[in-house]
């Protein structure tokens, strides 16, 4: 008799209804598992091991609610192994020894055992060491699940005998697909209730779950129980996620209205308004990297050389958002919005490029002047390549009086700096350069 009943009978319909939606909706086929395509997609290493029934000991590392336990159960089902679930929270050395004896008994019968250890990081070093001889002999295939970095929380000996797979937080689209499946599934989900739910409300639940599929299921279940007339209501969702729902179509008009409001608030040097519109978009679930890209654009379009550090700050904020994610990275976006709002404004570089592009479009493409051409061969020197070139570092103040524009554009000025911020100093320097060149000419 096994210590655990590894093939429990299917619960009755009444008993099944009492289980949480997240537990009822655990997929029974690998094809139904949502997310983690980087390790479970076609041809990926873990998928190949599962399909070929050659699974070894592994550590599943990832945030809560991304499917670590579900994946462990699927592996056991698909590899025809005995599945022994084990909790590091509730068990100690005594329980470990009892489970290992059970696994040895299965091994003598020629049956493999998958020991799934939830929250393996909660075991101390001695408890983790107790698994080692059984893993080495092949009595068990160990699947450990942890939310903590295994490099710090799993001892080196055990870690060297297991392959670590990092699971990522689920995307909003993946969670939304899970919620739609739960609403349609009549056997295990909420399909028998025939609840109608708008895409926008499901998207809000997905966003609020912050990559946690279990949390999303719990929110949906609570919201459905509070809805009436067969329709998932906005107020029920607000109560379930404990915050106001901001319905927002990320590809529709409101998306463009809000980003326009943010951009114009920054351009108008109004940090309070910029923060408000930024917060509106964040709360509605806007893609943080989209917000970062738009703020980088503001730094170069509306501030430019009036504060050359604005672009540095913008790129630093973009990298911070990419590195930290939500919610920690949101503070970097807020900080950048404030910085850009307060920074001196100039669109001189933006206008200068436009003027140069207009000149390109409206004039003939003249050959590059000879003095600007390289002459890497003797023949090219004989043809006049490089003739008249003045090396800036060999003339006084590094200011040659050589013309660098095509003949038809001589004297044209595209860049006219403002007198705001750092561009005031740039304007003074540019005036000196232009005066020196005119004097030299």
- Residue by residue, DSSP assigns 328-362 as HHHHHHHHHHHHHHHS----HHHHHHHHHHHHHHH
What percent of the chain has pLDDT above 70? 92
The per-residue DSSP string of 69-126 comes to HHHHHHHHHHTT-EEEEEETTT--HHHHHHHHHHHHHHHHTT--EEEEEETGGGS-HH
**Residue 89, pLDDT above cutoff 70:** no
**Residue 79, pLDDT above cutoff 60:** yes
The reported pLDDT for the residue numbered 332 is 95
The per-residue DSSP string of 247-273 comes to ---TTSHHHHHHHHHHHHHHHTT-HHH
> Which strands sit side by side in the sheet containing 163-166, from one edge to the other?
82-87, 113-118, 141-146, 58-61, 163-166
How large is the average pLDDT for residues 169-192? 89
Range with top average pLDDT, 132-136, 207-211, 298-302, 377-381? 298-302
The reported pLDDT for the residue numbered 351 is 92
How large is the average pLDDT for residues 317-338? 92
The lowest-confidence range among 82-91, 161-170, 175-184 is 82-91
Q: Give 87's strand partners.
A: 118
The reported pLDDT for the residue numbered 277 is 92
Q: Where in the chain is the domain with CATH 1.20.272.10?
A: 253-342
The C-alpha angle with vertex 30 and arms to 24 and 33, in degrees rounded to 5, equals: 55
Q: Where do the H-state alpha helices sit in 168-252?
A: 172-184, 199-208, 213-225, 234-241
The reported pLDDT for the residue numbered 5 is 42
Q: Is-contact 119 85, C-beta < 8 A?
A: no
Q: Is the dihedral of CA 245, 185, 36, 71 positive or negative?
A: positive
How large is the average pLDDT for residues 82-109? 73
How large is the average pLDDT for residues 400-421? 87
Range with top average pLDDT, 74-83, 179-188, 297-306, 362-371? 297-306
The reported pLDDT for the residue numbered 305 is 93
**Residue 355, pLDDT above cutoff 50:** yes
The reported pLDDT for the residue numbered 348 is 92
The reported pLDDT for the residue numbered 266 is 95
300 closest CA partner among 340, 259, 255, 355: 340
The reported pLDDT for the residue numbered 252 is 58
For residue range 159-173, what is the model confidence (pLDDT) as tens digits? Answer: 888 889 999 888 888
**Residue 18, pLDDT above cutoff 90:** no
Distance (Å, whole) CA 385 – CA 371 = 7
CATH of domain 253-342: 1.20.272.10
Rg of the chain over Cα atoms, rounded to whole angstroms, equals 32
The reported pLDDT for the residue numbered 8 is 47
The C-alpha angle with vertex 313 and arms to 430 and 419, in degrees rounded to 5, equals: 30
Range with top average pLDDT, 8-12, 30-34, 129-133? 30-34
Q: Is-contact 206 216, C-beta < 8 A?
A: yes
Q: Where in the chain is the domain with CATH 1.10.8.60?
A: 172-241
The residue to which tokens 């008799």 are assigned = 1
Distance (Å, whole) CA 322 – CA 328 = 10
**Residue 7, pLDDT above cutoff 50:** no
How large is the average pLDDT for residues 367-382? 88
3-state secondary structure string across 357-396: HHHHHHCCCCCCCHHHCCCCCHHHHHCCCCCCCCCHHHCH
Tell me whether strands 163-166 and 141-146 are parallel, antiparallel or unpaired. unpaired
How large is the average pLDDT for residues 217-227? 87
Q: Is the dihedral of CA 9, 13, 15, 18 positive or negative?
A: positive
Distance (Å, whole) CA 274 – CA 331 = 13
**Residue 6, pLDDT above cutoff 60:** no
The reported pLDDT for the residue numbered 72 is 85
13-166 topology per CATH: Rossmann fold (3.40.50)
CA atoms within 13 A on the CB side of 115: 31
How large is the average pLDDT for residues 40-69? 87
- Token code pair at residue 409: 């554009």
What percent of the chain has pLDDT above 90? 20
CATH of domain 172-241: 1.10.8.60
- Token code pair at residue 278: 């930024």
**Residue 212, pLDDT above cutoff 70:** yes
Range with top average pLDDT, 15-19, 47-51, 77-81? 47-51
Neighbours of 356 (CB within 10 A): 14
Phi-psi region of 177 (alpha: psi -120 to 50; beta: other; left: phi over 0): alpha
Q: Which residue has the higher pLDDT, 272 or 115?
A: 272
How large is the average pLDDT for residues 206-231? 85
The reported pLDDT for the residue numbered 192 is 87
Q: Which residue has the higher pLDDT, 228 or 44?
A: 44
Q: Is-contact 35 43, C-beta < 8 A?
A: no
H or E, element range at 55:
none
CA atoms within 13 A on the CB side of 407: 5
The reported pLDDT for the residue numbered 1 is 36
């Amino acid at each position: 008799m096994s210590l655990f009943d590894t093939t429990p009978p299917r619960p009755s319909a009444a008993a099944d209804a009492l289980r949480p939606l997240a537990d009822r909706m655990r997929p029974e086929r690998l094809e139904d598992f949502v997310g983690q395509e980087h390790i479970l997609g076609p041809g990926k290493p873990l998928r190949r091991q599962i399909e070929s029934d050659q699974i070894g000991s592994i550590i599943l590392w990832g945030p809560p609610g991304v499917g670590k336990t579900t994946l462990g159960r699927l592996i056991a089902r698909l590899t025809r192994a005995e599945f022994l679930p084990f909790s590091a929270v509730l068990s100690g050395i005594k329980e470990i020894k009892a489970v290992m004896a059970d696994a040895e008994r299965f091994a003598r019968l020629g049956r493999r055992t998958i020991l799934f250890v939830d929250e393996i990081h909660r075991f101390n070093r001695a408890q983790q060491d107790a698994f080692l001889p059984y893993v080495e002999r092949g009595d068990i295939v160990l699947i450990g699940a942890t939310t903590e970095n295994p490099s710090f929380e799993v001892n080196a000996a055990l870690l060297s005998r297991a392959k670590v797979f990092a699971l990522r937080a689920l995307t909003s689209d993946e969670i939304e697909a899970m919620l739609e499946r739960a609403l349609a599934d009549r056997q295990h989900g909420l399909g028998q209730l025939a609840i109608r739910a708008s895409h926008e409300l499901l998207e809000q639940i997905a966003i609020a779950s912050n990559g946690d599929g279990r949390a999303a299921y719990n929110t949906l279940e609570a919201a459905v129980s509070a809805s009436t007339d067969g329709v998932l209501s906005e107020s029920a969702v607000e109560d379930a996620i404990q915050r106001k729902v901001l319905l927002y179509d990320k590809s529709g008009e409101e998306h463009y209205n809000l980003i326009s409001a943010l951009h114009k608030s920054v351009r108008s040097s109004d940090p309070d308004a910029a923060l408000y519109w930024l917060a509106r978009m964040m709360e509605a679930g806007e893609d943080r990297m989209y917000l970062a890209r738009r703020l980088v654009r503001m730094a170069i379009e509306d501030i430019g050389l009036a504060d050359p550090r604005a672009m540095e700050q913008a790129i630093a904020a973009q990298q911070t958002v990419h590195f930290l994610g939500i919610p920690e990275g949101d503070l970097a976006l807020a900080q950048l919005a404030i910085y850009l709002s307060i920074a001196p404004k100039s669109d001189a570089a933006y206008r200068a490029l436009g003027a140069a592009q207009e000149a390109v479009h409206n004039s003939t493409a003249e050959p590059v002047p000879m003095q600007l051409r390289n002459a890497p061969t003797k023949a090219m020197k004989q043809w006049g390549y490089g003739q008249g070139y003045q090396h800036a570092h060999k003339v006084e103040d590094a200011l040659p009086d050589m013309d660098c524009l095509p003949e038809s554009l001589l004297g044209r000025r595209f860049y006219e700096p403002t007198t705001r911020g750092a561009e005031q100093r740039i304007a003074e320097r540019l005036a000196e350069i232009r005066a020196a060149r005119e004097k030299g000419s």
